[in-house]
C-alpha cells in the first residue's frame, strides 16, 4: 500500500533508531523512506527495523531497507503476489519459486521472508478452498443434470416399447 508523505507518518517513523541510520541521514533529517524514496547518503546495511514500525503495519508493507531500495518494488511486489494468488492455475510450488526468485533478486530487502511465505500460503489455502467449493458445486449440478437426462432417456425407451 502506498505510504503518504505526511508529518504524522514522519513522526511515527523509527528510522532514527535503526543501526543503518547514519550521520549523513541524520544531518539531512531524513526519514520516512518508504514514502519519500531512497537516500543519497552512502550507507552500510547494519539491519533494518522497518518491520517493527507502526507505519509498516498500517500500510501493510512487505519489506524494508527503503532507504536503500526506494519505494516502488514493495507496491509492485505486493500487486504481483496478489495477482499470482488470484491465479488458480499456478500451482503453489511454481508460485513459491517465483516469489523465491523475486525475493532473491531484491536481496536483503526482505527481512522476514517467512512472514511473507506464510501470508502467501494462507492466501493460497483460502483460494484453493474457494476453488474446491466451486468444483463440488459443479459436480453436484452435473450429477443432477445427468440424472435428469437418464430419466428422460428411460421415458423415451418406454414410449418406444409401448408404440
Interface with ligand SF4 by CB under 6 A: which residues? 13-15, 18, 20-21, 31-34, 48-50, 53, 55-56, 61, 64-67
Interatomic CA distance for residues 39 and 17, integer angstroms:
16
Q: How far is the CB of 72 from ligand SF4 (least distance, A)?
A: 14
Q: How far is CA 22 from CA 2, 35, 40, 42, 44, in A?
A: 25, 19, 12, 9, 9
> Measured on CA atoms in the order 110, 113, 116, 120, is the torsion positive or negative?
positive
DSSP per-residue codes, 114-132: HHHHHHHHHHHHHHHHHHH
Q: Is 51 helix (H, G, I), strand (E, B) or coil?
A: helix
| Shortest distance in whole angstroms from residue 119 CB to ligand SF4 | 17
- Minimum Å distance from CB 67 to ligand SF4? 3
Between 55 and 116, whose beta carbon lies closer to ligand SF4?
Answer: 55
Nearest distance, CB of residue 148 and ligand SF4, angstroms:
59
Question: Which residue is it, cell 508529518?
Answer: 7
Query: Which C-beta is closer to ligand SF4: that of 59 or that of 98?
Result: 59
Q: Which is nearer to ligand SF4, 75 or 92 (CB)?
A: 75
Q: Which is nearer to ligand SF4, 31 or 95 (CB)?
A: 31
Q: Give the nearest distance from C-beta 114 to ligand SF4 in angstroms.
A: 18
Compare residues 60 and 133 and give the one whose CB is closer to ligand SF4: 60
Query: What is the number of other CB atoms lying within 10 angstroms of the CB of residue 120?
Result: 18
Amino acid at each position: 500500500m502506498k505510504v503518504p508523505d505526511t508529518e504524522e507518518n514522519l513522526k511515527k517513523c523509527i528510522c532514527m533508531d535503526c543501526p543503518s541510520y547514519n550521520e549523513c541521514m541524520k544531518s539531512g533529517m531524513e526519514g520516512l523512506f518508504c514514502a519519500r524514496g531512497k537516500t543519497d547518503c552512502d550507507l552500510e546495511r547494519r539491519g533494518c527495523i522497518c518491520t517493527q514500525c507502526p507505519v509498516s503495519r498500517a500500510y501493510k508493507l512487505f519489506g524494508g531497507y527503503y532507504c536503500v531500495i526506494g519505494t516502488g518494488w514493495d507496491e509492485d511486489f505486493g500487486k504481483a503476489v496478489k495477482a499470482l494468488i488470484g491465479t488458480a492455475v499456478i500451482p503453489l510450488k511454481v508460485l513459491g519459486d517465483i516469489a523465491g526468485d523475486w525475493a532473491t533478486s531484491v536481496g536483503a530487502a526482505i527481512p522476514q521472508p517467512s512472514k511473507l511465505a506464510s501470508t502467501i500460503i494462507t492466501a493460497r489455502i483460502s483460494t484453493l478452498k474457494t476453488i474446491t467449493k466451486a468444483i463440488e458445486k459443479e459436480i453436484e449440478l452435473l450429477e443432477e443434470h445427468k440424472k435428469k437426462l437418464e430419466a428422460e432417456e428411460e421415458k423415451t425407451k418406454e414410449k418406444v416399447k409401448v408404440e
